[in-house]
Amino acid sequence: MNPYWGKDFFEFFSLLFLRLVRAMKGDLAFCDLASDEVQLLVLAGVGISTSLIGNLLILKRMTMLANALSHTILLGLVSAYLFLFPLMGASEEGIGMDLNLLMAAAFFTSLFTVLSTEFLKRVAKVQEDASIGLVFTTLFALGITAVTLFARNLHLEADAVMGNVDALHLHDLKLVGFVALLNAVVMLLFFKEWKITAFDSRLAASLGFCPLLFDLLLLFQTALTLVGAFRAVGVFLVLALLVFPPLAARRLTHNLGRLFFLSPLLGAAASVLAVALSRHLLSVYHLALSTAGLLVFILGCLYLLLLLPSLTFRKKKGIIL
Amino acid sequence: MTSLVDFLTDSVLRGPTIGSMLMCIATALVGVILLIRKETLLGEALSHAAYPGIVGSALFASLIFKTPGADEGMSVILGAFLSASLGLFLISFLQKKVSLHSDAALCMILSLFFGVGVLLASRLQVTHAVWYKQISLYLYGQAATLVDRDMAIYAVLVLITALCVFFLYRFVQWIYFDRAFAKSVGASVRKVEFLVHFLLILSIVIGMRSVGVVLLSGMLIAPAVAARRWTSRLSMLFFLAALIGGGSAFLGNYLSVNLPLLFHRESLALPTGPMIVLVGAAISLFSLFFSLESGLIFRAYRMRAFKNRCLLENVLKRLWKEGEKREFSFSEIVHFNQLSSLSGSLLFFKMRCQGWLQRKGKGRYRLSSDGWRRASRTVRLHRLWEVYLVDYLGQHADRVHRSAEEIEHLLSYELERELTRLLKDPKKDPHKQPIPNDHESLLG
């Protein structure tokens, strides 16, 4: 029984607070999490992991490459499943449940995309934008075809491409938490390296950091983040989570360290708001809206809100910091 | 199995087939302009930006009609057009006023619009399930429900696109290949840009029914990339791209109907949209490898052939240095040039075929007059180039050999004649070696 049933926006937060207090006292076990709370935590986790990555993607102007990755994920998942199935035996729950599967899918996704794009660009001399576009549409078409062929044992329909927040489960939380933690650790650990490769890759190369290695690491992490988010918000909407929080945070500050801190905050806050608002709309207006769609909408509004001051005052730098 | 002709005549099949062919022709035509402008990712962003318009128009129409009627297609086209235009406006706004990089701006608008589309669709799914089903077709494309009436609508739209492209042709040629000239004749770059973007959005709303908004950019890019491999003429590029676009649509439809029949497996009933994109991608991959001018295979072949020619000329040069009357055995030839026995015999065979080696007694060969002339020309070019480098570019005589070693395989007869004239037909090279000139007849 979901305790949040019929609550409006403010009641949602007061109940959340009460349950949080109870959980701290130890009255509430982990498995007692209501579905709204699972959604909230998963979306917040996704928001945190994507916004961390997004900062770097935007700095390196690789967001359209992330878009390409989001398309090729489908093929990555299918091939990970097909490869792992004979290796590790059946994972009966289906796709997106298993940590190994997650990693393998991310690996295949980034591998397919990078190798084929580079092949077209370097060997076949196709211009860059066209090679990205050609690769991901083709791989996506292949992915859809493969899903149609193997859908019966994959628990993965074409609808799953859109994600479904309401079908989230506790083990999704585990996966998303893992990805968010990994991203945070990698970002903190290599902060200096990221900074130098993002702003001056030649200096980085001359100092002995291999920019290519970090590009590849970033791509793999992006793929991992996308795969992790795929069950919650689907492969397309996760892009909004990648670009909006960092860009919104850039309206506030231009310092990379603060960006790394602010953008996950914004991402997580927007996720919490989205879950609460979706509950509010359902309880009060009986509007059942897609929480992921709502999240993207909120992110858009957030960006607009932060954009307005700098548009009116014509300030180029961040407004606060 | 359904025959090829049935796809164009059968009353059930001709709607989807001809319909999606028309759509893909439109996207292919516009794709060429996008490829030249290096703006293909704009096509990707705008095709996603059309999605909320599709859903929105269905949401609006569902308030008036209970079920989707015959005119639903038009309202969807209008909605998609409006929302893609809004997307385009926002992208240029973000780039100019907020000074975002185009990469981030595209990604932002793409995801924001798609998210709003999903939001609206989730509303529609609850209230009007029939309408929801109808608009889901635009996501991955489903041409199967097209009838003759739709075909007529799309034919008109494609005609408009083609006319615009025809009208734009000269401007595209001027602006993208000769900007200075375009300015001098007063072509307004802004106006042309506006028209190009209008065309892009038009082709997106036309094409989305065949391959869907998600895959649409594939049909924008693939035909243009493939066509580019076969021609460098702009007019031919448009023609070939349209041909490839139409062809992949036809084949895509054909395969998606016939594959399950061919293998007697229902599970092979693959959706038309992805099938069309896959066929298009296959065609462009084929073109990348096998096109005559710039295909990978032929490029590799030409590189290989050039390498072989260099090797051959070097071997001839080596034999030439031994003197005209000198006879060689096969093993000597291999030994002089430090060849492996395999490539040695290959070269030996080639020289025999070309008639550059003459047989003199058992196992003894010498350069024929043709071979002699060929070799002495190579040496002549080498030494002429050395003279040129020393006399005209002021290089030291010790350092010119390596460059001459490469250029001797490249200089044409015209260049040789020019060099001879420029250097006043020198007789000695910088190392005091004679410059041979016994192939006068070839110079003509």
pLDDT digits (tens, 9 = 90+) for B342-384: 887 888 888 888 888 878 777 788 888 888 888 888 888 888 8
Over range B106-131, report the average pLDDT. 88
DSSP letter string over B342-409?
Answer: HHHHHHHHHHHHHT-EEE-STT-EEE-HHHHHHHHHHHHHHHHHHHHHHHHS---GGGSHHHHHHHTT
Which residues of chain A does B87 touch, with a Cβ-Cβ cutoff of 8 Å?
none
- A318 within a domain of the structure (yes/no): no
Q: pLDDT at residue B104 above 70? A: yes
Name the H helices within chain A. Answer: 9-25, 35-59, 63-88, 99-118, 128-154, 170-189, 191-199, 201-207, 211-252, 256-285, 291-313
Question: Is B376:B408 a contact under the CB 8 Å cutoff?
Answer: no
Q: What CA–CA distance (Å, rounded) separates B288 from A295?
A: 42
pLDDT for the residue A315: 58
What's the half-sphere exposure (Cβ side, CA atoms, 13 Å) at A270? 32
pLDDT for the residue A81: 77
Binary contact (B123, A247; C-beta < 8 A): no
Over range B84-93, report the average pLDDT. 94
Over range B293-315, report the average pLDDT. 85
DSSP state of A31: G
User: Which residue has better confidence, B149 or A321?
Assistant: B149
Which pTM was predicted?
0.84
Chain A residue with CA closest to B281: the answer is A138
Over range B181-191, report the average pLDDT. 75
pLDDT for the residue B146: 77
pLDDT confidence bin for A152, thresholds 50/70/90: low
Token digits of residue B87: 């997307």
Domain B298-367: which topology?
A: Arc Repressor Mutant, subunit A (1.10.10)
pLDDT for the residue B69: 67
Nearest to B27 by CA among B16, B37, B17, B35: B35
pLDDT for the residue B444: 37
Binary contact (B111, A296; C-beta < 8 A): yes
Structural domain for A113, as ranges: 9-312
pLDDT for the residue B403: 86
What's the half-sphere exposure (Cβ side, CA atoms, 13 Å) at A248? 29
Q: pLDDT at residue B174 above 60? A: yes
Q: pLDDT at residue B286 above 50? A: yes
Over range A48-52, report the average pLDDT. 92
- A87 within a domain of the structure (yes/no): yes
Over range B83-96, report the average pLDDT. 93
What's the half-sphere exposure (Cβ side, CA atoms, 13 Å) at A98? 18
Q: pLDDT at residue A156 above 60? A: no
Chain B residue with CA closest to A315: the answer is B98
Chain B residue with CA closest to A238: the answer is B111
Binary contact (A58, B104; C-beta < 8 A): yes
Q: What CA–CA distance (Å, rounded) separates A30 from A38?
A: 10
Question: Is A253:A321 a contact under the CB 8 Å cutoff?
Answer: yes
DSSP state of B10: S
Is it true that B298-367 and B371-441 share their CATH fold? yes
Which residues of chain A does B39 touch, with a Cβ-Cβ cutoff of 8 Å?
129
* Residues paired with residue B359 on neighbouring β-strands, in sequence order: B365
Domain CATH for A227: 1.10.3470.10
Q: pLDDT at residue B440 above 60? A: no
Q: pLDDT at residue B169 above 80? A: yes
Sign of CA dihedral B415, B417, B420, B424: negative
Which H or E run contains B21?
A: helix B14-37
What's the half-sphere exposure (Cβ side, CA atoms, 13 Å) at B8? 9
Domain ranges of chain B: 6-219, 298-367, 371-441
Nearest neighbour of B115 by CB, restricted to A144, A237, A247: A237
Which residues of chain B does A310 touch, with a Cβ-Cβ cutoff of 8 Å?
98
How far off is chain B from A18, nearest CA to CA, in Å? 30
Which residues of chain A does B112 touch, with a Cβ-Cβ cutoff of 8 Å?
240, 244, 296, 299-300
Residue percentage of chain B with pLDDT more than 90: 22
Q: What CA–CA distance (Å, rounded) separates A58 from A247?
A: 8
pLDDT for the residue B439: 55
pLDDT tens track for B55-67: 999 888 888 776 6
- A319 within a domain of the structure (yes/no): no
How far off is chain B from A139, nearest CA to CA, in Å? 9
Which residues of chain A does B207 touch, with a Cβ-Cβ cutoff of 8 Å?
none
Q: pLDDT at residue A66 above 70? A: yes
User: Which residue has better confidence, A26 or A68?
Assistant: A68
To test the contact with chain A by mutation, choose from B119, B127, B137, B176 the residue with the greatest count of A C-beta atoms within 10 A, namely B119
Q: pLDDT at residue B427 above 60? A: yes
CATH class of B6-219: mainly alpha
pLDDT for the residue A316: 57
Binary contact (A137, B221; C-beta < 8 A): yes
How far off is chain B from A13, nearest CA to CA, in Å? 23
End-to-end CA separation in angstroms for chain A: 45
Q: What CA–CA distance (Å, rounded) separates A63 from A54?
A: 8
Which residues of chain A does B200 touch, with a Cβ-Cβ cutoff of 8 Å?
none
To test the contact with chain A by mutation, choose from B32, B83, B111 the residue with the greatest count of A C-beta atoms within 10 A, namely B111
Question: Is B131:B68 a contact under the CB 8 Å cutoff?
Answer: yes
Nearest to B132 by CA among B72, B213, B86: B72
Question: Is B158:B23 a contact under the CB 8 Å cutoff?
Answer: yes
Nearest to B35 by CA among A123, A127, A121: A127
Binary contact (B114, A311; C-beta < 8 A): no
Binary contact (B107, A66; C-beta < 8 A): yes
pLDDT for the residue B262: 79
pLDDT tens track for A69-106: 888 888 888 888 777 766 665 555 554 456 777 778 88
Which residues of chain B does A120 touch, with a Cβ-Cβ cutoff of 8 Å?
288
What's the half-sphere exposure (Cβ side, CA atoms, 13 Å) at B225? 33
Binary contact (B277, A137; C-beta < 8 A): yes
SS (H, E, C) A199-224: HCHHHHHHHCCCHHHHHHHHHHHHHH
Q: How many Cβ atoms are within 10 Å of A285's Cβ, its own excluded?
A: 10
pLDDT for the residue B91: 93
pLDDT for the residue A199: 84
Question: Is A176:A230 a contact under the CB 8 Å cutoff?
Answer: no
Domains: count for chain A? 1
pLDDT tens track for A240-298: 999 999 999 988 888 888 889 999 999 999 999 998 898 888 888 888 888 888 999 99
Sign of CA dihedral A213, A214, A215, A219: positive
Domain B371-441: which topology?
A: Arc Repressor Mutant, subunit A (1.10.10)
B326 phi and psi, to 5 degrees?
-65, 135
Sequence-distant (6+) residues with CB within 8 A of B417 are B443
Q: What is the mean pLDDT of chain A?
A: 82
* Residues paired with residue B366 on neighbouring β-strands, in sequence order: B358
Q: pLDDT at residue B6 above 80? A: no
Binary contact (B107, A239; C-beta < 8 A): yes
pLDDT for the residue A321: 54
Over range A164-184, report the average pLDDT. 83
Long-range contacts, stretch B331-336, CB < 8 angstroms, 24+ apart? B333/B365
pLDDT tens track for B381-423: 888 888 888 888 888 888 888 888 888 888 888 888 888 888 8
